[in-house]
Structure 1
Amino acid sequence: MHNPWKPRLVLAGAGLALITALCACSQPRTPLNAILPIPAEAELVGNDSCCECHEAPGEQFSHNVHSLLADFEYEANGIEARGCEACHGPASRHVETGNPNCILQFGKLDALQSSAICQSCHTAGDTMEWRHSIHAGQGLSCTDCHSIHSNTKGLLSKPQEELCLSCHQNVKAQLHLPNHHPVKEGKMSCNDCHNPHGSQTRPLLRTDERKSELCLTCHMDQAGPFAFEHAPVTEDCTICHSPHGSVADNLLKQNEPFLCLQCHELHFHTNFRPDMEKLARYAADGVAGAQTTLNTINNNGIDDKHAMQMAMMTRCSQCHPSVHGSDLPSLYTPGGGSRLTR
């Protein structure tokens, strides 16, 4: 039945999504004076005055990505100061008195204050959602992970794997299981799947859609489309797989057939006494395997003793190799005939 409201609902949903995206891209910036203890009477003095005393940090900063900023990049963010004072505030009082309290010291600022300084520039791209992220909600600041004066990639205070796993000990343990993504081998990093600065998804994933979309960016051979799709694949790969590591092969949460049996009941030919009348009807309809099974039972009888052994020691993928999807049904007759649907 035609629903006249459907087009309007689709347009309304699209409009709401657009408004949400625009709001997210234009976070209002809180004036730094409102949350930082900046001396009102201090004036700008320039980098040279800072480097007269702070030679080592000055040398580090000269090779830092922040030292390469152009004037228009400061002006685009409404920042009058340049270099050191862009983050530490006007330094004239500090230069005159030598009092460290007359300059902004990141070590004495709380997480909200120090992150606000960074976000006076970093409000787009990966850092756009920092204010609403899990890490910010846990009281972390930018300087907990970044060393601003350093010259390392991403200004990280430690290598990324070491940095992330220093807190996420459960993930560290999973990455040392027999099957794992090659993070500790250096072939990929946490940042390939996660955005540590914030995401609309709960585990900080680099996708706003279902989890499988992220997995399929690398595992494209499993993407399909297939005529017969395995529902968990299109819903969430982590239903069957543990992405950080597992004991079972292929990052499966459990070995076959036990993983499959959580959703799929055991087949009639492997674990219990079959319904002979139904089996005969399947054989008459040409269902693949039914006549062979019927002949085996008629010739050898029913082997109840070993039926459960067969069920529990056979991998489902021996008969169903295309577990992510296939253009063939699970049971089919190559020359035609009906499927096992009754």
Structure 2
Amino acid sequence: MKSKKLWKGVFCGVMLALGLVSASHAEDSPSGSLTRQQRDAVCTKCHDESERKPILSIYQTPHGAIGDSRTPACQDCHGESQNHLSGKTEGGHRLPPDRVFGSKHSPAGYTPISPQAQSEACLVCHKAGLRMHWPGSQHQANDVACTSCHVVHNPTDPVRIKEEQPTVCFKCHREKRAEINKISAHPIAVGKMACSDCHNPHGSSGPHLLKQNTVNETCWQCHADKRGPFLWEHQPATEDCTNCHNPHGSNITPLLKSRPPFLCQKCHDGPHVSPSPTGSAVAGIQGGGLAPNTAPNNNVVGRACMNCHVMVHGSNSPAGAFLHR
């Protein structure tokens, strides 16, 4: 019994000592003794529903989930901002927080910190997964900050909604807006696809911020029937789908860069098309009509080259390359 009491006394003494140490560390930190809600209250007593931009609606987002221990407080993103909280002024205005986000001056006239510094504040938490290739990526190198695309305080972030995401991307990539509205295009304009289905805007090991290592691997995520392997492979299709297709849109179906037979003749100038590019039909067109007792060349009517070569992405037909099986 005496030994049990002795150990109980030692245990209580150790716990009391640990409590005193942690309390002393909390006093050393300007906000270490405050809960997350209390730290936020320091800011929200001024920044309330009267702000021009929504502030309190952050509590309707994952960044404001009170029950999650990972949820940051205002100071975790904006800095401790002691000069701002103490009311110090300069030129008649209160000094700004340590970190001001955005691309333009705030309504209070504060200058945002650099795009790199803004992204670094976000990457403290959001560093792994899809963001692991952010350093050195095209967006990072061109001073695109997280806040250039994401809206943190709003309950809904448009860039994370499939139907609204393209409008965020088109703020910079305006030429792509025109392309997706052409006759032949992926269903981005109707909200069935989003830019992030093919691209990872946070960086990629592949070209053009693609989610996969190559263009073809990205296309094959949906177009698996074009992957092969085939007995007769079409080299341009094996190398890069964009040799023939414009993935963002074209006025020639299906997403082709130019019409057959002209598209095919960029590479194929062999017996089928010699000595004139498309046989007797072109000679007739150049002369104002077909020559007597001749018919249009199969290479230029109907589906042109694809009248015979149906399996243009590759074929397993024993009859020969790209013929119908």
Would you say same fold, with TM above 0.5? Answer: yes
The residue that corresponds to 1:195 in the other structure is 200
Cα pair 1:160 1:190 within 8 Å, conserved: yes
The residue that corresponds to 2:25 in the other structure is none
Q: What is the CA distance between 1:304 and its match in structure 2? A: 8.8
Residue 249 of structure 1 aligns to a residue whose secondary structure is coil
- Map 1:272-287 onto structure 2 (within 5 A): none
User: Mean alpha-carbon deviation: is it higher for 41-50 or for 318-327?
Assistant: 41-50
| 1:94 and 2:79 aligned | no
CA distance in 1 between partners of 2:182 and 2:117 (Å): 40
Structure 1's unaligned 5+ residue stretches are 1-40, 75-81, 274-302, 333-342
The residue that corresponds to 1:104 in the other structure is 99
**AA aligned opposite 2:56:** E
- Map 1:127-138 onto structure 2 (within 5 A): 127-138=131-142
User: TM-score, normalising length from structure 1?
Assistant: 0.66
The residue that corresponds to 1:51 in the other structure is 44
The residue that corresponds to 1:38 in the other structure is none
Rate the CA distance shift 1:131–1:154 in 2: closer, same or farther, 3 A.
farther
Structure 2's unaligned 5+ residue stretches are 1-27, 89-93, 103-111, 277-290
- Map 1:161-172 onto structure 2 (within 5 A): 161-172=166-177
Residue 115 of structure 1 aligns to a residue whose secondary structure is helix
The residue that corresponds to 1:323 in the other structure is 312
Rate the CA distance shift 1:244–1:52 in 2: closer, same or farther, 3 A.
same
Q: What is the CA distance between 1:72 and its match in structure 2? A: 5.6
| 1:204 and 2:209 aligned | yes
The residue that corresponds to 1:253 in the other structure is 257
Cα pair 1:43 1:91 within 8 Å, conserved: no
CA distance in 1 between partners of 2:293 and 2:318 (Å): 31
Deviation digits for residues 270-303 of structure 1 (CA, Å, limit 9, x no counterpart): 7659xxxxxxxxxxxxxxxxxxxxxxxxxxxxx8
Deviation digits for residues 290-342 of structure 1 (CA, Å, limit 9, x no counterpart): xxxxxxxxxxxxx897477543335111111111111115649xxxxxxxxxx
CA distance in 1 between partners of 2:230 and 2:122 (Å): 47
Q: What is the CA distance between 1:71 and its match in structure 2? A: 6.6
Which of 289, 299, 307 is the matching residue for 1:311?
299
**AA aligned opposite 1:200:** S
Residue 112 of structure 1 aligns to a residue whose secondary structure is helix
CA distance in 1 between partners of 2:58 and 2:208 (Å): 34
Cα pair 1:88 1:104 within 8 Å, conserved: yes
CA distance in 2 between partners of 1:216 and 1:255 (Å): 23
- Map 1:1-342 onto structure 2 (within 5 A): 43-44=30-31, 46-56=39-49, 57-68=54-65, 73=70, 82-97=72-87, 99-107=94-102, 108-153=112-157, 159-208=164-213, 210-265=214-269, 267-268=271-272, 306=294, 309-314=297-302, 315-329=304-318, 331=320
Deviation digits for residues 197-217 of structure 1 (CA, Å, limit 9, x no counterpart): 111223100012x21111011
Cα pair 2:138 2:203 within 8 Å, conserved: yes
Deviation digits for residues 31-83 of structure 1 (CA, Å, limit 9, x no counterpart): xxxxxxxxxx9822611221211123552111111122777647xxxxxxx41
The residue that corresponds to 2:19 in the other structure is none
Rate the CA distance shift 1:102–1:328 in 2: closer, same or farther, 3 A.
closer
CA distance in 2 between partners of 1:165 and 1:226 (Å): 38
- Considering Cα pairs closer than 8 Å and 6+ residues apart, tell me whether 1 or 2 has the greater RCO: 1
**AA aligned opposite 1:168:** H
Cα pair 1:216 1:223 within 8 Å, conserved: yes
Q: What is the CA distance between 1:133 and its match in structure 2? A: 0.9
Q: What is the CA distance between 1:93 and its match in structure 2? A: 4.3
Rate the CA distance shift 1:156–1:42 in 2: closer, same or farther, 3 A.
farther
**AA aligned opposite 1:115:** S
Residue 96 of structure 2 aligns to a residue whose secondary structure is helix
CA distance in 1 between partners of 2:83 and 2:29 (Å): 5
Work out the percentage of aligned pairs sharing the same amino acid.
35
The residue that corresponds to 1:14 in the other structure is none
User: TM-score, normalising length from structure 2?
Assistant: 0.70
Cα pair 2:130 2:202 within 8 Å, conserved: yes
Structure holding more helix per residue = 1
